[in-house]
């Protein structure tokens, strides 16, 4: 979970960072495959254009390839790059958005339950979905493609309820 940095201005005076990460790189598998297929299709399409349609036909195919690459590769990459999950000693913070930034802060003391789900592919890649249950009307917040979701779930549970198996109640949160 290194390489991702949370600006210090997002932390309160007595708050410390526990986990800060992007969504799992799994989100980039389909865009990478799309990039390979687009490049192959543009190359093949440009090669089979009849001589009398060159270079306009080749330019049209290349332009179509660029549009598809922006839509199927660049935008998903930017969404992945700008989506972060942060857990501090007091909050769960999500940030996303390419041009318009969306940020959500959930105080830990509003969380009732934490669980996770991992498909077979998630287990092979080391990620999963973290389900955070709150008392609010909307109920459950789902953080998708969380790297090492079991570790993240344990950390949140420990922040909420104290160390597992502890005989002492957790310290009061403000």
Q: What are the structural domain ranges in the chain?
A: 29-79, 108-165
Judging by DSSP bridges, how do beta strands 102-107 and 91-96 pair with one another? antiparallel
CA 61 from centroid of its chain's CA atoms: 32
Spatial separation of the C-alpha atoms in residues 8 and 137, rounded to whole Å: 31
At 10, is the secondary structure helix, strand, or coil? helix
Task: Give long-range contacts, CB 8 A cutoff, 24+ apart: 168-171.
Answer: none
Joined tokens for residue 18: 């526990």
Spatial separation of the C-alpha atoms in residues 33 and 28, rounded to whole Å: 9
Which pTM value belongs to this model?
0.79
CB atoms within 10 A of CB 95: 19
Spatial separation of the C-alpha atoms in residues 50 and 157, rounded to whole Å: 64
Judging by DSSP bridges, how do beta strands 127-134 and 140-147 pair with one another? antiparallel
Q: What does each of the 174 residues of the chain score in pLDDT, given as a tens digit?
A: 445 566 677 788 888 889 999 999 999 999 999 999 999 999 999 999 999 999 999 999 999 999 999 999 999 999 999 999 999 999 999 999 999 999 999 999 999 999 999 999 999 999 999 999 987 777 889 999 999 999 999 999 999 987 654 444 444 444
């Amino acid at each position: 979970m290194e390489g991702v940095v949370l600006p210090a201005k997002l932390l309160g005076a007595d708050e410390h960072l526990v986990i800060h990460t992007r969504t799992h790189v799994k989100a980039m598998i389909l865009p990478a495959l799309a990039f390979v297929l687009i490049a192959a299709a543009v190359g093949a399409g440009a090669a089979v254009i009849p001589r009398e349609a060159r270079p306009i036909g080749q330019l049209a195919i290349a332009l179509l390839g660029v549009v598809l690459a922006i839509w199927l590769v660049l935008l998903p990459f930017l969404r992945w790059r700008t989506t972060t999950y942060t857990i501090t000693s007091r909050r769960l913070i999500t940030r996303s958005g390419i041009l318009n930034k969306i940020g959500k802060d959930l105080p830990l003391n509003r969380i009732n339950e934490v669980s996770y789900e991992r498909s077979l592919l998630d287990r092979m890649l080391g990620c999963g979905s973290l389900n955070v249950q709150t008392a609010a009307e909307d109920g459950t917040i789902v953080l998708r493609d969380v790297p090492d979701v079991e570790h993240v779930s344990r950390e949140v549970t420990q922040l909420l309820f104290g160390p597992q198996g502890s005989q002492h109640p957790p310290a009061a949160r403000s």
